[in-house]
Structure 1
Amino acid sequence: MKLAGLTWWRNNYGSILQAYALQEELNSIPGISYEIINQYGKKIASFDNLIDKIKTIGIKKTIQRIFWKFGMKKLRNRSFNIQKFTDEKLRISSNQYSEDTIAQANKKYEGFVCGSDQVWNPTLTDINSMYWLGFSDDIKLRFSYAPSIGVDGVSEEEAKVIRKNLRRFHGVSCREETGTELINNIIGTNQCRTVLDPTLMVEKSVWDKLCPESKFKEPYIFVYMLRGTKEQRCMIEKFAKKVNLKIITMPFMEPEYAVWYDFKFGDFKYWDAGPDEFISVIKNASYVFTDSFHSSVFSILYHVPFFTFPKVGKAQMSRIINLQKILNIDSRMVYNENDINCVFQKKIDWKSVDEILDGKRIISQQYIRKVIRKYDEGICL
């Protein structure tokens, strides 16, 4: 069966790696051939992508993004290595589709998967977008894998559209419990399941094979701040002095939230890391400071004590808090210097975390296989 996935696969390390994880899991199932829909051109610097960004975020922010991806040689090197990874590791459809042409994909694929990432967040994508699979023919397999909806509620009008879309699905899942509860309230059943983010759903061996050796020989703190403030970075510097460790950082990851202090911050700036090197620098760190969901994920997978700064936006916070909650990890959230000391004292029971993950991994993997069986039996929601 030839399946196509509709997800975000180029925005940042997390998006790319979640897309890679779901690709690897689906292609490990006998009889399944899966690839990712190319909805905005295979190259970061494409004309189609430029036009799309201008339409969605405006000219000013588009110019800002172009500068922070290509304005300096070090940033161009980062973009090059991210592009290299996607070219070599992701199976992207040779045909490019848009909202206007996505229905043509029915000719090529027997089924469609939407997710993961925040593709169902109505503040980021339209509820009539391709990510809800409304374009697919009735005979096609349709299911979601761990999309995030990112809001606490929707209007009745939005709920009607969502119900209409999901009525044709053979399986529905969300990444967060809050999303699952909202979807179940909308459709009036308990058919929606909570599953792991794809990066947690695959076996750790997938990442071990992908992960290169560490470039750094001495112990270090890794800091991956997508947003945040100068004050937060100063707190990290004090902690680094306390534990006598160097700081490795990846500056300027989100153009709209650039902190100029990043030019000064850190003992080594890892400008040009690809997604695989992003995993490696987390795996080999002594501590991780972050406001990112996926850097928290890889810290957990590799048993690295991590500190989480709050990230602007409720949708951003809920997924990080939910992750700690489902794994029974005491809060790692940091709001001030005292919190850093408190979190530092909290030891994570990694054996318990691994046991919980193993159980939820089985549930998540079984969900996909059950959905495929339901399709074979002609059962929809």
Structure 2
Amino acid sequence: MIIMKIAILTLPLHTNYGGILQAYALQEVMTRMGHEVILINLPVAKVSKVEKVKEFAKRLVKRFLLFKSVPLRAWPTDRERKNIAQYIAPFIHKYLQVVECTCEKQLLNLVIKEKVKALIVGSDQVWRPGYSTSVSTYFLDFLKQEEDIKKISYAASLGRDYWVFTKKQTQVLGELIQKFDAVSVREDSAVTLCRTYWGINASWLLDPTLLLDKTDYMKVCDLIPAGKEKHLMVYILDSNINKDRIIQEISELKNLPVHKVMAKNKYWNVGSSGIKDCIVPPISEWIEGFMNAGFVVTDSFHGMAFSIIFEKPFICIGNKTRGMARFTSLLKLLELEDRLIHSVDDLKPDVVNCDIDYSRVNALREKEINKSIQFLQGALCRAE
């Protein structure tokens, strides 16, 4: 295989543990293959002035007419964003070969300047409308026909198990995806959707984080098993009473203290006066939370993935808002469907108390790892 300069294009990096670690994992896999890899980082989408004014008006009403304690400003300034990400940024700077791109219009100039020979889109929900300024960017609409840059998607996610694109989007994006040299997706439902609407035979592959071993993450975070007392690792993105009850019941069933590694609050809720509670803990603390867990409760796809990587018993609470296909697809692949619940009524003590046979799970995962690596090697061979 010829050594190539490869660029990875994924969602903007900020404070999302899973988003950062999947980018790191894909970069690491490609580097181990001997390639020179860069990661193109676009800025987080800006909130429009109209949206800011509308939200400000709503909050004025809540505060002064309904007497509710809400911050008037809903979104952090750039300076406040840096404050929130102060413990995450060092990991990105140290371990990711990031090349910053100020806007989508500069992407073509950047890849030409960097002499990129192959561009890999993914992973994460890069093909989900609303998760980026323009979803067509992640279908590489900025690459001109004559550009000799090969196009590959790796475990790209639509985020849903149903079609969300308009008729016009389906046509435009369909024309773009036909130009890809190799296409792979993260969910089994996306295989069917790509075939039905675009006539594309996409491969169903693992999220990049699952291509690495737990020792890879422990090493990069300078973690050594220290025989600490086990805890109930809780990583919940969207809290509610139902999830709180599930956490409490599992904590009592397993006799484990609750351990959370995440910001204590969101800027949306507390504003600048509560920004200290919005600061996101370091990635090393998050990884250590899984390493020392006796059990995991999560509503996050990557929380589920790292439970599997660290071979921990877990319960995943379905997160319909963020897309169920991501959960059901991986759990089906590894024969762990009984680990998914939707409410406290679904919680079964016999499942919670039953150990996962990770020798079987790892065998299934190893098969999928080999399939994923072969896809990347084959795609790049076709790109030579």
Q: TM-score, normalised by structure 1?
A: 0.82
Partner residue of 2:238 out of 227, 237, 245: 227
Match of 1:4 in 2: 7
Superposed CA deviations along residues 328-378 of structure 1, whole A, max 9, x for unmatched, are: 1132123115514243144322111100100000110111110111112xx
Instruction: Give the structure 2 partner of residue 178 of structure 1.
Output: 189
Partner-residue secondary structure (3-state), 2:324: helix
User: Is contact 1:37–1:97 with CA below 8 Å preserved after alignment?
Assistant: no
Task: Please give the alpha-carbon distance, in whole angstroms, between the structure 2 residues aligned to 1:270 and 1:248.
Answer: 17
The alpha carbon displacement at 1:165 in A equals 0.7
CA distance in 2, matches of 1:56, 1:5: 31
The aligned length equals 349
Q: Which among 312, 315, 333 is matched to residue 326 of structure 1?
A: 333
Equivalent residue, structure 2, for 1:161? 172
Candidates 132, 135, 138, aligned match of 2:139:
132
1:282 is matched with 290
Match of 1:86 among 71, 92, 117: 92
What is the deviation of 1:257?
A: 8.3
Q: 1:343 to 1:22 in 2, by over 3 A?
A: same
Q: Aligned to 1:129, what secondary structure does the other structure show? A: helix
* Counterpart secondary structure, 1:357: helix
Could you say which residue in structure 1 is the equivalent of 2:152? 143
Distance verdict in 2 for CA 1:290–1:179, change over 3 Å: same
Could you tell me how far 1:111 is from its partner in structure 2?
A: 2.2
Structure 1 residues 293 and 199, CA, compared in 2 at 3 Å: closer, same or farther? Answer: same
Q: Residue 216 of structure 2 is aligned with which of 188, 206, 227?
A: 206
- Indicate yes or no: 2:74 matched with 1:64: yes
Contact (CA 8 Å) 2:234, 2:296: kept in 1 or not? yes
SS of the residue 1:223 aligns to: strand
Q: What amino acid does structure 2 have at the position aligned with 1:2?
A: K
Superposed CA RMSD in Å reads 3.0
Query: One-letter code of the match for 2:363?
Result: E
Question: 1:226·1:292 contact (CA, 8 Å) conserved in 2?
Answer: yes
Structure 2 vs 1, CA of residues 84 and 185 (structure 1 numbering), >3 Å: closer, same or farther?
same
Unpaired segments ≥5 residues, structure 2 = 57-71
Residue identity in the other structure for 2:20: I
| More divergent stretch after superposition (81-90 vs 231-240) | 231-240
Shift of 1:252: 4.2
Q: Structure 1 residues 110, 311: closer, same or farther in 2, change over 3 A?
A: same
Give me the whole-angstrom Cα distance separating, in 2, the residues matched to 1:249 and 1:184.
Answer: 41
Structure 2: which amino acid aligns with 1:5? I
Q: Within 2, Cα distance between the matches of 1:37 and 1:333? A: 34
Aligned-partner residue type, residue 174 of structure 1:
V
Where 1:331 maps in the other structure, the secondary structure is helix
Superposed CA deviations along residues 78-99 of structure 1, whole A, max 9, x for unmatched, are 6211111111111101x52412
Q: Structure 1 177/277 Cα, relative in aligned 2: closer, same or farther at 3 Å?
A: same
SS in 2 for 1:101: helix
The TM-score with structure 2 as length reference comes to: 0.82
Secondary structure of 1:34's match?
A: strand
Cα separation, partners in 2 of 1:279 and 1:272, compared to 1, 3 Å: same
Q: 1:194 to 1:120 in 2, by over 3 A?
A: same
> Counterparts in 2 of 1:1-381, with a 5 A limit?
1-8=4-11, 9-30=13-34, 32-40=35-43, 49=44, 52-55=45-48, 58-59=51-52, 60=55, 63-66=73-76, 76=83, 79-93=85-99, 95-107=100-112, 108=114, 109-125=116-132, 129-137=136-144, 138-151=147-160, 152-153=162-163, 154-190=165-201, 192-211=202-221, 212-213=223-224, 217-252=228-263, 255=266, 273-313=281-321, 315-334=322-341, 335-337=343-345, 339-376=347-384
Deviation at 1:278, TM superposition (A): 1.1
Unpaired segments of 5 or more residues in structure 1?
Answer: 41-48, 264-268, 377-381
1:242-288 C-alpha deviation (Å, 9 max, x unpaired): 332211113547738869xxx9xxxxx99753123211211210001
For residue 58 of structure 1, report the CA deviation from its aligned partner: 3.9
Assess if the C-alpha contact under 8 Å between 1:213 and 1:280 holds in 2.
no
Which amino acid in structure 1 is aligned with residue 150 of structure 2? L
Q: Distance in 2 between matches of 1:184 and 1:295?
A: 29
